[in-house]
């Protein structure tokens, strides 16, 4: 299987970004908290944005409904997934 590296600085693959997105990370900053991708040279941030797309984001939906407290309480810690082999 071919690995497609999104962030060469930290060896983060597109699969890892998609797994974190499926677990609830819906912004490049949330992906960075979980993987460090985008925190060094920054050249991968636009690719991460492209992978995340403009799909449904539970946090964004809560904010649009005016429920900021629920967003803050929803996930105080970054999501950590098992490293892809």
The pLDDT tens digits of the residues spanning 11-54 come to 999 999 999 988 888 899 999 999 999 999 999 999 999 999 87
Torsion of CA 44, 48, 51, 52, to 10 degrees: -170
**Other Cβ atoms within 10 Å of 6 Cβ, number:** 25
The three-state secondary structure class of 13 is strand
Give me the mean pLDDT over the 63-78 stretch: 58
Give the span between the Cα atoms of 10 and 36, in whole angstroms. 7
pLDDT at 76 over 50: no
Residue 3 is predicted with a pLDDT of 87
Residue 84 is predicted with a pLDDT of 47
Task: Kindly indicate the confidence band of residue 69, based on its pLDDT and cuts at 50, 70 and 90.
Answer: low
């Amino acid at each position: 299987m071919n690995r497609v590296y999104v962030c060469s600085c930290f060896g983060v693959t597109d699969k890892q970004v998609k797994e974190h997105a499926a677990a609830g990370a819906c912004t490049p900053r949330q992906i960075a908290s979980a993987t460090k991708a985008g925190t060094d040279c920054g050249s991968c941030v636009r690719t991460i944005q492209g992978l995340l797309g403009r799909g449904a984001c539970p946090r964004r939906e809560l904010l649009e409904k005016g429920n900021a407290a629920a967003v803050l309480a929803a996930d105080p810690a970054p999501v950590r997934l098992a490293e892809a082999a």
